[in-house]
Amino acid sequence: MDHGPISTRTAAAATAGGFMHDLVAALLRSHGLACAVLVALSLVMFLPGFAGLPPMDRDEPRFAQASKQMLETGNFVSIRFQGEARNKKPVGIYWLQSGSVALAQAVGFDAARATIWLYRIPSLAGAIATVLLTYWAGLVWLDRRFAFMAAALMSACILLGVEARLAKTDAVLTATIVAAMGALARIYAVRSGKGKGSVAPSFVLWFAIAVSILVKGPIVLMVAGLASLVLSIRERSSGWLKPAADWRAMVLSAIIVAPWFIAIALDTHGAFFGEAVEGDMLSKVAGAREAHGALPGTYLIAALVTLWPIAPLALIAVPEIWRARREDAVTFLSAWLIPSWLVFEAVPTKLPHYVLPLYPAVSLLVAFVASRDAFLPDERWKRLTLVLLPLPAALIALAIPYATFLYGDRADIMGAMIAAGAAICAGFAARVVMRRPMEQAIAAALLAAMLLFIGVYEFAVPRLQSLALSPRLAAALSRSPCVPQGLATAGFNEPSLVFLTRADLQQTTGADAARFLALPGCRAAFVDIRQEGDFTKSLAAIGRTPQLLGRVLGVNLNGGRHMDIGVYANGG
């Protein structure tokens, strides 16, 4: 039968959409193959720049240095940064980081303890696990194709990509929370006959809770607890939670968690709990900590960038999500997302990574709407919203030459061009979304993310040498005529300098740095120009003239202050 003329553009779109559909079907022949593809995709997204980024002040080198000191001292109970107890977070991430470095040492990796990317391996593994567990969680409500779509979108998430490249807690924390919520979803589904009764979800739930508590304390209890409360109100009963109360799983969780908490209580005479709960957690609830305060709604606005490229799709999906709000999938994912998001918005202290464990729920909601073929071009605001797909990449492409010229040796044109390619791919994805071959649109968005990460992490960031003060100071120190037995710093006190030099680096003043260099033995000091006056006067008073190994000029990433630091050695 003749259905009339079909335009070349429409035919091409149908052909491309059909090819992509067939390709996805081929990649999803089995769960094993799907997971292998997701691992490969995650590595493509997370590895650019992974090994090349210097230690990023301040949190990353604090975690890495504390893990390094565990290896140096053999004390795997207490957490210390230099001589100070770091009683803020539990020990889990430090064990993972020190284990990663110890394994590298065992296979003969030179200078493993001073190599920052080895400390990032747990974060990389956590980010990959987040992607895989998003797929696993999605399989409760979605068929394989759309669970895969949600997981693939998570691999492209800007914030997850950032955390995969930092030796911190948040990528691992997110993986544990997604595991817990995936298990909770299976328990919830059983009550409506949509899942098979089994003890496995209960064991996964409590194992994930135990690991999560060891990594970052009670955040997992908040997310899972609030979700359970909302779902119980909806069901007018908490009876659906009965399978979760498996005493064997709970005992296993206690066995995992209790030994270290008992050990740290004995080691610190209870001080850990006082400082972690009152000094860290409750103080963030009571007020803004470390100048990180912001108004409610900040996370929602920030998500336009941190949740890219998922955020524009999520905004368009909102009406369909609302229409389907009584369906189990939307009910559960909303219970995962909304209550904890409101808590994070209400807490005065705000950092972008706090809401990362909630992003997989958003990705799964987007995939749910896609499974209903409900991304319809039925309203003008939806078409305008899709501008948010290419916009972040385009802005980054424009910013790269300026930033690399301002903080580097020259403007990086190649990185800008690659980021511009990402913007073009994202624009194509925006165009295709509303024509509804979703595989083609998601593929374009994934390609955009890959290009953006390459442009930023492989080309632009390495050019920002003015911001890499600590690596350049450590390099200048290597020109010392003797091996320093002691180090001091006056005016530049970032944790990255401790990590790249020595745990006993002394933070002092210019006058005291001069006196430090006058002590016996080979010594070196880093002296900022603001401390040079007192440094020079003290040197003159004691009659010493240390050797200037070089000067390092740059900008402190924290605060944006321009630095001019002299590196001095006394020659032994």
Are the C-beta atoms of residues 362 and 336 closer than 8 Å to each other? no
Q: What pLDDT was estimated at residue 378?
A: 77
Nearest to 188 by CA among 318, 320, 333, 321: 333
Q: What pLDDT was estimated at residue 292?
A: 58
Q: Which residues pair with 548 in a beta bridge?
A: 568
Tens-digit pLDDT profile for residues 11-51: 444 455 577 778 888 888 899 999 999 999 999 999 999 99
Domains of the chain as residue ranges with CATH: 49-66+121-371 (no CATH), 380-465 (no CATH), 468-569 (3.40.190)
* pTM greater than the 0.85 cutoff: yes
Considering only residues 376 and 512, tell me which one the structure prediction assigns the higher pLDDT: 512
Nearest to 129 by CA among 102, 151, 158: 151
Q: Which helix (H) or strand (E) holds 411?
A: none
pLDDT over threshold 90, residue 274: no
Q: What pLDDT was estimated at residue 487?
A: 97
DSSP for 341-393, written as a single string: HHHHHHSSB--GGGGGGGHHHHHHHHHHHHHTT-----SHHHHHHGGGTHHHH
Task: Give 407's pLDDT tier (boundaries 50, 70, 90).
Answer: very high
What is the phi/psi pair of residue 563, to 5°? -125, 145
pLDDT over threshold 60, residue 84: yes
Task: Give 337's pLDDT tier (boundaries 50, 70, 90).
Answer: very high
What is the radius of gyration, based on Cα positions, of the chain? 26
Sheet strands (E) in 213-263 = none
Q: Which helix (H) or strand (E) holds 62?
A: helix 59-73
Q: What pLDDT was estimated at residue 192?
A: 62
Determine how β-strand 84-85 pairs with β-strand 80-81: antiparallel
Question: Alpha-carbon torsion 181, 182, 187, 189, what sign?
Answer: positive
Q: What pLDDT was estimated at residue 110?
A: 87
Tens-digit pLDDT profile for residues 260-272: 999 999 999 899 9
How many Å apart are CA 103 and CA 118, to the nearest integer? Answer: 10
What is the phi/psi pair of residue 562, to 5°? -75, 135
pLDDT over threshold 70, residue 288: no
Q: What pLDDT was estimated at residue 375?
A: 87
Mean pLDDT value across residues 418-433: 95
In the numeric block, which tokens belong to residue 163?
């955390």
DSSP collapsed to 3 states, 278-310: HHHHHHHHHCCCCCCECCCCHHHHHHHHHCCCH
